[in-house]
Structures are given as structure tokens and as C-alpha cells.
Amino acid sequence: MTSDHIFYLAPIRGITDHIFRNTFEKFFARFDFQITPFIPTVKGSFVNPCILRDIDPSYNDIKRVVPQIIGNSPQEIKVLANKICELGYSTVNLNFGCPHAPVTKKKRGAGILPYPDMIRSILDQLPFQNCSFSVKIRLGLENENDIEKTIPLFNEYPLSEVIIHPRTGIQMYKGSVNLDAFQRCLSLSRHILVFNGDIFSSEDFIHKQKLFPQINRWMLGRGVLYNPFLLGILRGQNPDCNITYLRNFHDEIMEQSSQILSGPSHLLGKMKGLWTYMASSLVDGKRILKKIQKTSSLKNYNELIDRLFNDQLTVQSSEAVSLR
């Protein structure tokens, strides 16, 4: 692996909050940039500070953390973007890629991609004089050819970069990323492009690197949740894939989350959500995940986690992680 690649943490709602972002880098490798889970726009000119809690500069590195906005109202996006810039952030990311139906049916996320006029009205209102803007997109909502209109549209604006997950919205995470479509994006775009999608191993990374030698920016999402050691492997750091790091990572996330979440059921739900990904890094991970999902109280959960780690859980090799 070479060291001249730039790695981004993908935003995964409910998982990659500031606690996860900071704790991950304490025990594993360091990202060059971290995109936050999306912040939805609000009506009016008042932005409630509670929706900005995750991007509070007191526990975020504002030089590397990029807040993400989701919405479809040009004015509402402008208001929220200005507020984020006031906090000291230099770049804001626009989410035009979220594939989840409750979002897309409102013409947000990937749901806005079939409507280039709506996208244009948003870009026209962006306060480029205050900060930089990037976009995170999919190929389209239902039609991968939507990209043939959106990329030329983006070319008209001074975006800092375009992050592309080469699937359609209705695909969610099924099937494979469309590498041919990403190649078309390369020929269409005048912006810096970031590749996002299906990098689960060093083999995946090397394959995509060979296909797209002009790309040196890569976004990792599910891959580093399935296998937290992956980023270090891609950076050529030969990380010690010791289960102790996973235990300490788990315990610190749980401890810090307990201080901000409202009640044990909320905390239990968050930890189960984390394990839906993290169990894949373990030998016999599917069986372990089933046991975790069956726990009904924090007491039962903590007892089970203690037993599991005391029974010498084993981290799989990076190339053996079960990803599907």
C-alpha cells in the first residue's frame, strides 16, 4: 500500500457520531477527513443548537470534519450552511445520495437526483463566499443515467469535490457498484472525484486503484465498520489485529454514549446497531450477533459481552471478514 492516498470516513446515521469518530481514531487508524451523518434543514431562520450538537467544535477537529446537510429547499440549506460556517467549519457537504425511502420520497438525498432544476436552484443559493461546498451523490434514484445530467450541472459550480457512490438509490447496497458508470463520471467531471463503495479488503482497494489510477481519494464506510483494522491495513501500517483493541473501542463508545443518551433502552439499541457491523470482524460473527440481538436489558447485554470477550473472541484476517 502507498501513503499518498486520502481516506474519508463515510457518514452512517446512528453509528458514526462524534463519539465513534474520535474513539475510532484513538484505537485504530486516522482518517484524513470525516463526513458527519446528515443534519436535516429546518424551516425559518432559527437553527436549534441541539441539531448541531454532533458538530460542536469542542469535540471535533474542524479542519478534518465535514458536516453534511440534507434538504431540498435552497433557502433552508443556505441558512443551515451559514450557521455551520459560523462554527468555524471550512467545508459543508450536501447529501444528494441517501437511498432510504423515507428520505427519497420527499425528494431529498438520492430522491432529488431526477430533478436537476431543483439541484440547480440549491447550488445557485449556496454561500460560496463563506465556505467551500462538496456533494455526495449516487448515479441516480432509479436510473443510473441521471448522472449524465447531474455531473455537467455540477461542473458549472465551484465545488471542492464530488463524492460518488456508483449505485442507484433503489439499489440501496444490493448488487455491485457500477465501475463502468464511475469511469463515465471521470470523463464527464471537471471536479476532484472521491470513490465511495464496496471497499472491504486490500484486494478490493487494489482492484479499484488499478481501474482508476487517477483517483487518490477514497471513502470507507461499511468496510471499516465490518473491520475496524481495514484503514490501517490500507495505509500500510500492518496493524496488530488484537481483540483487546476491539474490546477497548467497544467499552469507550458505550461509556461515552451512556452520558448523552436518554435511558438504557436507547443505549442498548445503539450498541446492538454497532454490533450489526462489528460482529463481521469476528470468527463465528453471525452466531455472536444473534446472541447479542437477543439481549433485552443492559444487564444481560453487559454479562454477555463480558462472557464473549473472556471466551477469547478471535478477529478474522482482514481478507476473511464476512461482508454480506
Listed by start position, the domains of the chain span 36-197, 243-320
Chain segment 9-61, per-residue pLDDT in tens = 999 999 999 999 999 999 999 999 999 999 999 999 899 999 999 999 999 99
pLDDT above 60 (res 151): yes
At residue 295, the pLDDT reads 97
pLDDT-derived band at 317, boundaries 50, 70, 90? low
Q: What is the dihedral of CA 296, 26, 61, 46, to 10 degrees?
A: 10
Cβ atoms of 87 and 57 within 8 Å: the answer is yes
At residue 123, the pLDDT reads 98
Cβ atoms of 281 and 228 within 8 Å: the answer is yes
Report the C-alpha gap between 157 and 313 in whole angstroms.
Answer: 50
Report the C-alpha gap between 250 and 253 in whole angstroms.
Answer: 5
What percent of the chain clears pLDDT 70, i.e. is strictly above it?
A: 96
CATH C-level class of 36-197: alpha beta
At residue 312, the pLDDT reads 67
Chain segment 154-178, per-residue pLDDT in tens = 999 999 999 999 999 999 999 999 9
Grid cell of 28 as nine digits = 485504530
pLDDT above 80 (res 320): no
